[in-house]
């Protein structure tokens, strides 16, 4: 499991924890998030811009 970090605001998506606010269950891999996934905090829209932390 990895953690991915938004380059704009520092939001992190933790694969082990998921994001219950966004409806992603714990253990959801970042690559399994929808292609239109956007940062919940600042709406950076491109998954490829997220950096593995």
Size of the site for Zn ion (CB under 5 A): 8
x-or-dash pattern for Zn ion, window 6-35, by CB under 5 A? Answer: x-xx-x------------------------
Contact call for residue 49 and Zn ion (CB under 5 A):
no
Closer residue to Zn ion (CB): 7 or 26:
7
Contact call for residue 41 and Zn ion (CB under 5 A):
yes
* Alpha carbon distance 32, 28 (integer Å): 7
Q: Considering all CA atoms of the chain, what is the largest pairwise distance in Å, rounded to the nearest integer?
A: 24
Contacts of 16 (CB under 8 A, 6+ apart): 1, 26, 27
């Amino acid at each position: 499991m990895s953690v991915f970090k938004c380059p704009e605001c520092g939001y992190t998506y933790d694969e082990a924890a998921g994001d219950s606010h966004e409806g992603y269950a714990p253990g959801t891999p970042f690559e399994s998030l929808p292609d239109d996934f956007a940062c919940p905090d600042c709406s950076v829209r491109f998954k490829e811009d997220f950096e593995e932390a």
